[in-house]
């Protein structure tokens, strides 16, 4: 039985992917490696922890010794690398941790994977490495990398290292770049769960700038199925863009959240814009569709309704992740002139 190592598997996308692999591939074992930072939560994997085909190891991708031990511990043939610091706003307040985890951690993992003779390495990256679009067009795999934030710069740097390991050492590496995800278990720092949480608590909904920035939303289950398709059928050395084909302005998304929760638009409050804020992202996902037959299946309206229902049914999960650290981050973030008043 082959084993896939999933780094960051206790996070939002990772936990969804681990569950999908266990369900879809009865002959695959999954080893989740995760540090359980503020964004990682074993509760996200609750139903997988009892599965005899799943193991969990707590550890840091920057810890060379621990990573080497994990990669040598079982018959690991493939790595899907999701572990990362993932939030743009946090990268603005503290870029260094993003360089450490996202760049150095990726290099540590690549070196250990090469030594262990891992057959396939999938780097889970983001559309944000391409920078910002004007009102027309979309990113293709050939678009130049032009990251704006410390987060996207760290992901772009990691992508370069992954490609370099492919070219220099002949490793079988692949990169996926996906648009904005939403769905169950997303930490309430990202737009959709933050707006759901605040609206549920009748707190102000902080819109950065004019709120007319555009994102292409994809349900996390569609991202996971794309990752599995790339793991199984992607061509070595290739980049695959993944997108949901659901372009919405932030204000459109926020108004939908309020409508579905039956809350008033008077909760919306415009605050100072995010520095270096990318105006628009849109993905051309025709390559993964043509080569691997993948396409997104969840419509945005239905996906958003289901997601809101999940957060309403799991208010305890929201309370458990919104800890003192969460409140400290927001008091630092809003004190930089970004008042919600
Ligand atoms: P997340 O923040 O929910 O989860 C990240 C996980 O990584 C957490 O479980 C955390 O504990 C773990 N982690 C962090 N630092 C670690 C370290 N040093 N060692 C081991 N584990 C560590 O993030 P997510 O939204 O699930 O994103 C997962 C990946 O997908 C990231 O690489 C991100 O860049 C990429 N991505 C995310 C999106 C999105 O919309 N969320 C879109 C495209 C790509
Ligand atoms: P986010 O979920 O942080 O994802 P990303 O910056 O990686 O695209 O933000 C999505 C969009 O929502 C982005 O344009 C910033 C905006 N936004 C707000 O207006 N208010 C908020 O409180 C947050 C978290 C995001």
Centre of ligand 1 to C-alpha 320, Å, is: 19
Q: Is the CB of 227 under 6 A from ligand 2?
A: no
250 CA closest ligand 2 atom index: 12
Mutation to probe ligand 2, out of 203, 215, 253 (largest number of atoms < 8 A from CB): 215
Look at residue 194 in the predicted model and tell me its pLDDT.
98
Give residue 338's pLDDT: 61
321 CB under 6 A from ligand 2? no
Which ligand is nearest the CA of 63, by number? 1
Ligand 1 atom nearest to CA at 61: 19
Q: Pocket of ligand 1, candidates 82, 296, 326: which has the most ligand atoms within 8 Å of its Cβ, to mutate? A: 82
* Ranges assigned E (strand) in 161-284: 173-178, 180-182, 205-208, 214-219, 239-242, 247-249, 268-271
| DSSP assignments along 67-85, one per residue | HHHHHHHS-EEEEEE--S-
- Distance, in Å, from the CA atom of 275 to the CA atom of 279, rounded to the nearest integer, reads 11
**Which domains are assigned to the chain?**
2-182+217-242 (3.40.50.720)
Identify the residue whose tokens are 């707590």: 58
Distance CA 121, CA 51 (A): 24
Please tell me the predicted confidence (pLDDT) of residue 341.
Answer: 42
**What is the per-residue pLDDT for 335?**
82
Catalytic residues: 127-128, 151
Is 116 buried (19+), middle (13-18) or exposed (0-12) by CB count in 10 A?
A: middle
User: Cα dist. 320→42, 89, 114, 188 in Å?
Assistant: 12, 21, 38, 11
71 near 110, Cβ under 8 Å? no
Q: DSSP 3-state assignment of 149?
A: coil
Mean pLDDT by 10 residues, the chain (341 residues): 96 98 98 98 96 98 98 93 98 97 98 97 98 97 98 99 98 98 98 98 97 98 98 98 98 98 98 97 98 98 98 96 92 73 42
Tell me the ligand closest to 194's alpha carbon: 2
């Amino acid at each position: 039985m082959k084993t896939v190592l999933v780094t960051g598997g206790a996070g939002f996308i990772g936990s969804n992917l681990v569950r999908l692999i266990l369900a879809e591939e009865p002959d695959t074992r999954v080893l989740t490696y995760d540090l359980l930072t503020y964004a990682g939560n074993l509760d996200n994997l609750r139903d997988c922890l009892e599965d005899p085909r799943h193991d969990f190891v707590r550890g840091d991708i920057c810890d060379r010794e621990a990573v080497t031990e994990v990669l040598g511990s079982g018959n690991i043939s493939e790595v899907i690398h999701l572990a990362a610091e993932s939030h743009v706003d946090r990268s603005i307040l503290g870029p260094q941790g993003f360089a450490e985890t996202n760049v150095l951690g990726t290099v540590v993992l690549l070196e250990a994977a090469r030594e262990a003779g891992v057959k396939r390495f999938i780097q889970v990256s983001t559309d944000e490495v391409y920078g910002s679009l004007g009102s027309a067009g979309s990113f293709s795999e050939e678009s130049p990398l032009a990251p704006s934030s410390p987060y996207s710069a760290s992901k772009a740097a990691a992508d370069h290292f992954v490609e370099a390991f492919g070219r220099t050492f002949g490793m079988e590496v692949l990169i996926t770049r996906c648009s904005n995800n939403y769905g169950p278990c997303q930490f309430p720092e990202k737009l959709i769960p933050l707006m759901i949480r605040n609206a549920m608590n009748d707190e102000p909904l902080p819109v950065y700038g004019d709120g007319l920035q555009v994102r292409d939303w994809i349900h996390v289950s569609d991202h996971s199925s794309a990752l599995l398709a790339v793991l199984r059928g992607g061509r070595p050395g290739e980049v695959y863009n993944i997108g949901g084909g659901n372009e919405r302005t932030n204000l459109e998304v926020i108004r939908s959240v309020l409508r579905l929760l039956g809350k008033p638009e008077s909760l919306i409050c415009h605050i100072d814009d995010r520095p270096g804020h990318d105006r628009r992202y849109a993905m051309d996902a025709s390559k993964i569709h043509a080569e691997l037959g993948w396409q997104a299946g969840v419509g945005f309206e239905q996906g958003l309704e289901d997601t809101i229902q999940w957060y309403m049914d799991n208010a305890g999960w929201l309370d458990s992740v919104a800890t003192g650290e969460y409140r400290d981050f927001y008091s630092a973030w809003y004190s930089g002139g970004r008042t919600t008043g």
